Amino acid sequence: MALIKDSTPAWLVLANGQVFQGKSFGAKGTVIGEVVFTTGMTAYQETLTDPSYYGQIVTQTFPLIGNYGVNSQDFESTQSYVSGYIVREWCNAPSNFRSEDSIDHFLKRLNIIGLWGIDTRCLTRMLREAGVMNGAITTEDPAGRMETLLTQIRAYSVRDAVKTVTGTETHTYTPENIKYRVVLLDFGYKRYIRKSLMNRGCEVIVVPANTTAEEIYALDPDGIMLSNGPGDPAEATEVIANIREIVKLGIPVFGICLGHQLTALAMGAKTEKLKYGHRGANQPVIDLASGKTYVTSQNHGYAVVGESLDPSVGEVSHINANDKTCEGIRYNSVNAFTVQFHPEAHGGPLDTAYLFDEFTGRMDAYKEGK
């Protein structure tokens, strides 16, 4: 039976003073965050449970969200990390044999404030032209408190992101046939990174973000995975210093998304904030070694400045076909390679899953040389 959609009004107030009025779904109240957009046509529940969206109000550019419902098997983490959620329209009668719940109930259960019924095309164009900006979703009429709300919005920033989303305990996940042991540093990792490793025979030991190089070495891994995660990479100074020691161990290192950025900073490169970031499942990336272009899934607002990396330390291996930003680095001075995009891509294209095979190949070589 279809749900009766809530007609309660809700508003989006942007830092530039622009106001969009729509309707409420999910939880009610007021929340402030960085307003971003993602172009994915599917995988909305993966987006909602991706820790990389911590502190952000996510706008879906695809006009209908929730048509296949929500199921617990496809979550990327155990909870939602978005600050708020914006869609053009949500489906109140999902249809899929795996569906367990509606997106409205899912948001209510996790206390995520949602807004629907606004012109998301207009909002997306505004963010593309002006860049991502802070905003607030509220179910309380902002008319009488606009100046106070705008002051709060403009003062907001995403802070302590990795410290907030990382786990506090070590967990081991074991496949049926163990070929490798991998330590996965949890900066806000997505479950499908772990599953992609396990599908290749990796026993995966997930450790907190502040786990030291010495503690990792004591686990006797064949490889080290640096995960995705949220926030400004330059803020995570302790993690950067630790990665500088981790790469000295000689154990193969593979970094994805934030792990890519943090490794670059540890090796002397710089990062920059993009105007509106890369978020979606259709980002074209060129592998400079082969000349091939791959379609990739991405979710990031910062990028490594490729020109800032010392050529004797490493070289840019992949670039974005649209804006030519750095999408990957292969290091010469240490046993590490990193990419900005998501080769595990759940949901999304699996064009670059070969990178996990390169990682296992490096682990084979490392084990032979032990």
Model pLDDT for residues 26-80, shown as the tens digit of each residue: 999 999 999 999 999 999 999 999 999 999 999 999 999 999 999 999 999 999 9
Asked if residue 124 lies in contact with residue 62, where contact means CB atoms within 8 angstroms, the answer is no
> What burial class does residue 71 get, using C-beta atoms within 10 Å of its C-beta: 0-12 exposed, 13-18 middle, 19+ buried?
middle
* pTM, to two decimals: 0.96
**pLDDT score for 4:** 76
The one catalytic residue in 326, 327, 344, 346 is 344
Model pLDDT for residues 253-288, shown as the tens digit of each residue: 999 999 999 999 999 999 999 999 999 999 999 999
Q: Would you call 326 a catalytic residue per the annotation?
A: no
**pLDDT score for 317:** 98
Pull the structure tokens for residue 182: 């991998």
Q: How far apart (Å, rounded) are the C-alpha atoms in residues 92 and 257? A: 34
Q: Would you call 300 a catalytic residue per the annotation?
A: no
Q: How far apart (Å, rounded) are the C-alpha atoms in residues 61 and 94? A: 19
CA 72 vs CA 43, 49, 137, 355: distances in Å: 13, 10, 26, 27
Cis peptide before 347 (omega within 30 of 0): yes
Model pLDDT for residues 300-356, shown as the tens digit of each residue: 999 999 999 999 999 999 999 999 999 999 999 999 999 999 999 877 888 999 999
The one catalytic residue in 260, 318, 342, 346 is 342
**pLDDT score for 5:** 83
Model pLDDT for residues 168-182, shown as the tens digit of each residue: 999 999 999 999 999
pLDDT band at 134 (very low <50, low <70, confident <90, very high): very high
The answer, yes or no, to whether residue 1 has pLDDT greater than 70, is no
Query: At residue 26, what are phi and psi to the nearest 5 degrees?
Result: 75, -145
Domains of the chain: 9-157 (3.50.30.20), 162-369 (3.40.50.880)
Model pLDDT for residues 74-106, shown as the tens digit of each residue: 999 999 999 999 999 999 999 999 999 999 999
The one catalytic residue in 203, 257, 318, 346 is 257
pLDDT band at 2 (very low <50, low <70, confident <90, very high): low
pLDDT band at 294 (very low <50, low <70, confident <90, very high): very high
Pull the structure tokens for residue 44: 């909305």
DSSP 71: -
Q: Would you call 344 a catalytic residue per the annotation?
A: yes
